[in-house]
Amino acid sequence: MKQISIRQCGVIIVMCIFANKILLMPSLMYERTSADSIFVMLLLFLLDFVMLPIFIKLKSIYPDKKFYDILKERLGTFVTKVIYLLLLAFFFFKCLLVFSITYVYFKQQIYQDEFIFLALIAFLPVINCAVFNGLRAFSRTIEMFFWIVITGFVVCLAISLFTPISVPLFFMSSAKDFLYSMHNHIFAFGDFIFLFLVMDRIDFKKGSIKRLYCYALSGIFLVTLLFYLFYAKYQMTAFMHNNALADLLVFSVQFNAIGRLDIIAMLTIMFITLFQMEIFSFAFCDCFINIFPLNKTFAVVVFDILFCLLYYVFIGRYETMVMSSLFWLPYLAIFINYILPILMLVLIFIKTRRDKLEKKD
């Protein structure tokens, strides 16, 4: 089986960390917890980060075993399929949310009008190709463009320093608002869950685990820095700016003779969105294939049909998708982000205890 390296695994983690956090989320969080949203985000990141050592321990116990087979062996086929069905829904709506937010951003910045069919024609074939070529192929692509994307991200943050900024006002929100904001934005997290699905396809070499932590912490640091600079620039009006990474360039889009600089944000967001949709689409298809005894082609076709129908017919309105991510999707995320890792921790404990008892006997 073709495996991916720790480096490729790391760049995938960073793309997942960026998902649904660099455009709309800073504005949404500011409405309830103002600049304290940084602390809300850091606490959610901390809860997410606990998943990484759980994953590493599980991988060390079952180095070549599929996540589906581990669950099936311990919990039975029916429970495993239910869990995978929830994972399928989780990744599908993540993909839909990423597309919805980015689509509105490009509509506002470039087209000034609806271009949904053009967007679908541009995105879906690329995503489908990535799924067909497999995890190793698209992870190499992400690895190839990784430093270009990170450079674009950092340049956007750096340019914001040439505009007036001041220290944000902290500790202005109540404990109730803090907890409410945490609950509302849980769905945007769960950044390490993808690793569990592909654990059998990750090549863990001795001494390489630290690199995985470095990639994860680097992604968290960049998102935190984005939040800080965004709130430092828009202390009172942050709730009005729905495209955080791009809005950092407002009032500085023309820089001497260089011309408009917002193209840097556009290209960076385009690449990040494309990579995120490839990751989430692959996860959807992987879950689908494990639930139903069908091939990858059928899974891709089902994804495309569901994506177009749900977006265009049912939740084509941008506000509907965003409200769903704040009100009912968090309940799905609570299971995926917290209950499932705790369940895996229990299975690890049981497996470790049995192995110790067998050695004693």
- 272 with 99: CB under 8 angstroms? no
Element (H, E) at 221: helix 209-233
Whole-number pLDDT of residue 259: 47
Total-model pTM: 0.93
Show the low-confidence residues of the chain (pLDDT under 50): 253-259
Looking at residue 265, its pLDDT comes to 87
Nearest to 12 by CA among 228, 264, 283: 283
pLDDT value of residue 247? 86
Rounded to 10 deg, the angle between the 37-49 and 51-61 helix axes is: 10
Q: Is 216 helix (H, G, I), strand (E, B) or coil?
A: helix
**CATH pick for 6-360 out of 3.40.50.10540, 3.40.309.10, 1.20.1740.10, 1.20.59.10:** 1.20.1740.10
Tokens at 302, concatenated? 């089902």
DSSP letters of 52-121?
A: HHHHHHHHHHSTT--HHHHHHHHH-HHHHHHHHHHHHHHHHHHHHHHHHHHHHHHIIIIISS--HHHHHH
What pLDDT, on the 0 to 100 scale, is given for residue 55? 92
Residues 6+ apart with CB under 8 A from 70: 58, 62, 347
